[in-house]
Structure 1
Amino acid sequence: MDSNDSVDRAEQQPPRGVILVGVQKGLPDDVLREAARLARDLGEDLVCAHVDLERYTVGEKLDGGVLSASIDPDSPDDAEGDFDAALAAHIDDVLAGTGVEWTGRELAGDPAHALGRLADAVHARYIVVGTREASVRETLREFFQGSVASHLAHRQRRPVLVVPLSPVTDGRALPWE
């Protein structure tokens, strides 16, 4: 084999991407574990993205981060762009011992739109999200607005891995029935 063959093969390798996982306070650890397992198995980086629903995007950075403002005009804007320290500590605890390094991104606005745009910016191979717990409030919200997973699956081109949190396996009615 000559050196040009190895150079040609190196040029044919796709650029390294990431596994993008949507995170929030109270997110069951199984979602993080599945995203970390996928990242480790594929040799990809893990990006944990939190979307602040109480802010809206006013600009975008080249790295996929956002400039945002509070939807409440009386609220101070001192936390713009800061990934929640308590959430970061929880992610560290859950991923300890997995060998997977992660980075956090703080986003704003509609979760499906924000995650889809970040996925484009960071060349995500997959987006990982969890299902919602089947509360009356969440069932109504999803009925009127649709689920984040559903919006992602229909509005962008990469695969979406949905981690079931409370699967209905015993014949009970599904949350929307």
Structure 2
Amino acid sequence: MSVRSVVVGVDHSCPDLPRRAAGLVQALGGSLVELVCVWVDETSVASGGFAVSVDPDIVVSDDAYGADPLLGLERSMRDVGLPWSAVRAVGDPARELARVADEVGAAMIVVGARRTGLRGWASHLVGGTVAGRLSHDQRRPVVVLPPALDH
């Protein structure tokens, strides 16, 4: 039997999403699944093989992941019970999640629900939600997990 991949979008506003995605996969009996956690830096673009900040004045917030989201992810996923890997990408989150899903032959993509508040509303007006854009452009299922009840 081969291992299937599930791509999970990592977002500062929902730091427990990868663990909850692992729980969903396990609840569905997915013991032969690897989670591929993708963190997309929306404040940078790819240029000549390097990530270049769109706004050099942007400061990384002091949130659950800390300054390096992949190090925070390592702490969060330590005892998740499934194999997982992390990928750092830059640019448009929907496009990058789809690209990684294509690269790994993912069975599905898991993302969090739209951000609440002004930032979520503004993002929705400007470009739509990541989940919405993915669901219209994907051949694979897109699962949207709502915020955890303890938030």
* 1:6 equivalent in structure 2: none
Note if contact 2:13-2:115 (Cα within 8 Å) is conserved in structure 1: no
Of residues 19, 39, 52 in structure 2, which corresponds to 1:33? Answer: 19
Structure 2 gap segments, 5+ residues each: 58-65
Following TM superposition, by how much is the alpha carbon of 1:74 offset from its aligned partner in structure 2, in angstroms? 7.0
1:1-177 paired onto structure 2 within 5 Å: 16-29=3-16, 31-40=17-26, 41-42=29-30, 43-58=32-47, 67-72=49-54, 86-165=68-147
Provide the rounded CA distance (Å) in 1 between the counterparts of 2:105 and 2:129.
23
Do the aligned partners of residues 87 and 72 (structure 1) sit closer, same or farther apart at CA in structure 2, a change above 3 Å counting?
A: closer
Provide the rounded CA distance (Å) in 2 between the counterparts of 1:136 and 1:74.
22
Q: Which has the higher contact order (CA 8 A, sep 6+)?
A: 2
Do the aligned partners of residues 111 and 68 (structure 1) sit closer, same or farther apart at CA in structure 2, a change above 3 Å counting?
A: farther
Do the aligned partners of residues 141 and 86 (structure 1) sit closer, same or farther apart at CA in structure 2, a change above 3 Å counting?
A: closer
Amino acid in structure 1 at the alignment position of 2:109: I
TM-score (norm 2): 0.76
Provide the rounded CA distance (Å) in 1 between the counterparts of 2:83 and 2:3.
15
Structure 1 gap segments, 5+ residues each: 1-12, 60-66, 76-83, 168-177
Do the aligned partners of residues 28 and 132 (structure 1) sit closer, same or farther apart at CA in structure 2, a change above 3 Å counting?
A: farther
Following TM superposition, by how much is the alpha carbon of 1:39 offset from its aligned partner in structure 2, in angstroms? 4.1
Runs of 4+ in 1 over 6 A off after TM superposition: none
Provide the rounded CA distance (Å) in 1 between the counterparts of 2:56 and 2:13.
27
Do the aligned partners of residues 72 and 161 (structure 1) sit closer, same or farther apart at CA in structure 2, a change above 3 Å counting?
A: closer
Is the partner of 1:124 in helix, strand or coil? Answer: coil
Following TM superposition, by how much is the alpha carbon of 1:34 offset from its aligned partner in structure 2, in angstroms? 2.3
CA deviations over 1:13-47 (Å, ceiling 9, x no partner): 6x532111010334241x22222124443121111
How large is the Cα RMSD of the aligned pairs? Answer: 2.7
Provide the rounded CA distance (Å) in 1 between the counterparts of 2:7 and 2:21.
8
Following TM superposition, by how much is the alpha carbon of 1:58 offset from its aligned partner in structure 2, in angstroms? 4.5
Provide the rounded CA distance (Å) in 2 between the counterparts of 1:72 and 1:115.
20
TM-score (norm 1): 0.66
Amino acid in structure 1 at the alignment position of 2:137: R
Aligned length: 138
Following TM superposition, by how much is the alpha carbon of 1:113 offset from its aligned partner in structure 2, in angstroms? 0.6
Amino acid in structure 1 at the alignment position of 2:8: V
